[in-house]
Amino acid sequence: MNVTIVDYNSGNISSVINSFNEVAKGKINIEVTSDLKKIKSSDKVVLPGQGSFKSCVDALNNIGGLVDTLNEVALNNKKPFFGICVGLQMFADIGYEETQTKGLGWISGKVSKIDNKNGKYRLPHIGWNQINIVKESKIFKGIDNKSHMYFVHSYEFIPDEKNVISATIDYSSNIVCSIEKENIFGTQFHPEKSDKIGLKIINNFINL
């Protein structure tokens, strides 16, 4: 089996690569590439994302044919697809970081700045926070509710379809931190930085 981590020059993804390799233990081929043919032929795809919504969308669009390939893999071929941090946010129709930017439009909704209640909540939201699992999700198999995950973000994904939400956190408000829609999964937190529980989530995705 091949799991492809999409490398589209969106910041440092070495911790994502390392954690997937640690879970795969050499039994599963982890490919890190922007090669369209390799992405199309892979069994599962991971889209990491660091930096701003706009910078990540621009980086995707800078590689000719990449967005079309991702659409084909996730929407047409229904292969398991995992977005991490901004990788999840880009599933939205639109983002408002830096400037209004069109997302992939896979899950209707928007990405807006977290309301810090006039400075009461620090932004970016950095560190460990406990998640509230609100619906059964394949990537949460064997994960306890109220588990702690690691976050670094100032913007939140607000989906129109509330039934896609699999987990939330309490930070200023009820913030979506995980989604599942058919073959599409995403976490606002960083499983690759969330210790053994994060590795368990990665393992669950690999073993779908």
Token pair in block for residue 28: 């599963």
The 3-state DSSP composition of the chain as helix, strand, coil percent (nearest 5) reads 30, 30, 40
Domain ranges, residue 40: 2-206
Whether 12 has a pLDDT exceeding 90, the answer reads no
Question: So which residues are the catalytic ones?
Answer: 85, 190, 192
Please give the average per-residue pLDDT across 5-17, as a whole number.
92
Instruction: Tell me what pLDDT residue 11 has.
Output: 79
- Which position has the token pair 């928007």? 110
Whether 34 has a pLDDT exceeding 90, the answer reads yes
| Edge-to-edge strand list for the sheet holding 109-113 | 101-102, 94-95, 109-113, 155-159
User: CATH number for the domain including 72?
Assistant: 3.40.50.880
Give the whole-angstrom CA distance, residue 163 versus residue 160.
9
pTM for this structure?
0.97
Q: Which residues face 127 on adjacent strands?
A: 151
Q: What is the pLDDT of residues 51-95, one digit of tens each?
A: 999 999 999 999 999 999 999 999 999 999 999 999 999 999 999
Please give the average per-residue pLDDT across 201-206, as a whole number.
98
Under the banding of pLDDT at 50, 70 and 90, the label for residue 10 is confident
Spatial contact of 166 and 158, defined as CB atoms under 8 Å apart = no
Q: What is the pLDDT of residues 126-142, one digit of tens each?
A: 999 999 999 999 999 99
Running DSSP on this structure, what letter comes out for residue 31?
E
Q: What is the pLDDT of residues 170-181, one digit of tens each?
A: 999 999 999 999
The number of domains in the chain is 1
Please give the average per-residue pLDDT across 116-128, as a whole number.
95
Q: State the sign of the Cα–Cα–Cα–Cα dihedral 37, 77, 138, 149.
A: positive
